[in-house]
Amino acid sequence: MPRGRLPAAGRPRLADVARRADVSLGTVSNVFNHPELVTPDTRRRVQEAIADLGFSRNAAASVLASGDTRMIGLVVVGLSNSLFVDAARGAQRMSRADGRHLRIATAEDDHDLLMEHMVHLAGTSASGLLVAPLEEIDAAIDRVRRLDCPVVLLNFDPQRADCCRVLVDNEEVGRIAVRHMADLGRRDVLFIGGDDALQPVARRRAGVRAAAAALGTAMRLEEVDVDTWTPSTVVPVVRSLLRRDVADRPDAIVAVSDLLAIAAIEELRAGGIRVPEDIAVMGCDHNSAAWGGAVPLTSVSMEGDAMGEEGVRLLIQEIEEDPAEHMHTTVLLEPRLDARESTLGRPV
């Protein structure tokens, strides 16, 4: 997995100054950017630490001259999907470790508002933006770049090449799911998918198909599509399964989202089907809005924390590097199986 480079060894960092002055990174940053917020005593202590460490005037001056305000923005399509709550947590942690201030803006599923947030953050001195959109945002990227504000994309793979991005390998998500079912001895998977216009749906489906094909006759794959945004659309799918002969039913269900998986489990149990004894069920996005049921759900974790951390790491590089030398990078996060009772059964 590609990883952001570490800062060059030996170069004194704000963190060293903070440690020596026994203040937070935010305070050191304020001494540079907002001295009016710092008491004279603390300001003196920080300035002494700067002198002691040879954190050179030039380095300090370059922070000032660069216009790096140490404020970065995270713009998400919404916070109701826990993936973005996790990403915010990771981004906050990494921002703080570098003495930066993270400001989050939520677009509540409004594409125009998402782009407005980007432009306003860039216009009010954000030194860089992390953005998690659902659609292309080319116009907004071009606009904020004219304000010297770089953009890193999270969980969205744009058509343009000139952007850093942090993605989860959604094909691998699908492969992990089918392989897990095969490992448990299941031979007959129903994939409950949705609208392929959504990148994660199309890519998970491709992974499911590839893994099933690789298993040859050891795995039969059936597919049905529902409305990804409306978990209750799973109900008629499950009811039609229940009308089949027992021998004709799948012994495993992989749903493209956890909310669909949990709705399927509920309907199966209402129909007298045991999960996982009769049919094992799993989801694909580890959304906490689907946790905590009587049958804890197996899923594939999307590593939201790491997504936020990697995003901030890439963004800091782009803020600090000479634009002429910056290489745009794609970080592809490995998803991870999170096996629980809905496929493993109850632990004894």
Distance (Å, rounded) from C-alpha 268 to C-alpha 279?
Answer: 9
**Which tokens hold the place of 158?**
């744009």
Distance of CA 241 to the CA centre of its chain: 34
User: Nearest approach, Cβ of 63 to its own copies (angstroms)?
Assistant: 16
* Residue count (the chain): 348
Task: Select the residue interacting with its own copies from 96, 111, 145, 336 (CB under 8 A).
Answer: 96
Does residue number 103 form part of the binding site for its own copies (CB under 8 A)?
A: yes
Distance (Å, rounded) from C-alpha 100 to C-alpha 98?
Answer: 6
Does residue number 291 form part of the binding site for its own copies (CB under 8 A)?
A: yes
- Helix runs in 184-281, H state only: 199-215, 234-242, 258-270
Does residue number 245 form part of the binding site for its own copies (CB under 8 A)?
A: no
With respect to its own copies, which residue has the nearer C-beta, 199 or 291?
291
User: Nearest approach, Cβ of 78 to its own copies (angstroms)?
Assistant: 8
Task: Select the residue interacting with its own copies from 62, 124, 232, 240 (CB under 8 A).
Answer: 124
Interface region with its own copies, contact rule CB under 8 A, candidates 87-95, 133-141, 156-164, 171-179: 87-95
Distance (Å, rounded) from C-alpha 104 to C-alpha 136?
Answer: 20
**Site residues for its own copies, window 130-189 (CB under 8 A)?**
147
**Which tokens hold the place of 95?**
């921002």
Does residue number 340 form part of the binding site for its own copies (CB under 8 A)?
A: no
Interface region with its own copies, contact rule CB under 8 A, candidates 131-139, 152-160, 284-292, 311-319: 284-292
Neighbour tally for 322: CB within 10 Å: 6
Task: Select the residue interacting with its own copies from 28, 105, 176, 315 (CB under 8 A).
Answer: 105
Q: If 0-12 CB within 10 Å is exposed, 13-18 middle and 19+ buried, where does residue 163 land?
A: buried
In eight-state DSSP terms, residue 79 is S
- Cα angle, residue 80 at apex, residues 89 and 103 outer, rounded to 5°: 40
With respect to its own copies, which residue has the nearer C-beta, 105 or 208?
105
Window 65-84: contact mask with its own copies (x via CB under 8 A): ----x-x------xxx-x--
Does residue number 30 form part of the binding site for its own copies (CB under 8 A)?
A: yes
First to last CA, the chain: 37
Interface region with its own copies, contact rule CB under 8 A, candidates 91-99, 156-164, 234-242, 311-319: 91-99
With respect to its own copies, which residue has the nearer C-beta, 25 or 254?
25
- Helix runs in 22-74, H state only: 25-33, 40-53, 57-65
Task: Answer whether 52's CB lies under 8 Å from 22's CB.
Answer: no
Task: Select the residue interacting with its own copies from 19, 47, 60, 89 (CB under 8 A).
Answer: 89
Does residue number 338 form part of the binding site for its own copies (CB under 8 A)?
A: no
Distance of CA 291 to the CA centre of its chain: 18
Task: Select the residue interacting with its own copies from 141, 295, 314, 315 (CB under 8 A).
Answer: 295
Rg over alpha carbons for the chain, rounded to the nearest Å, is 24
Which residues of this chain interact with its own copies, rule CB under 8 A?
Answer: 24, 26-27, 30, 34, 36-37, 69, 71, 78-80, 82, 85, 88-89, 92-93, 96, 101-106, 108, 112-113, 116-117, 119-121, 123-125, 147, 259, 262-263, 265-266, 269-270, 288-296, 346
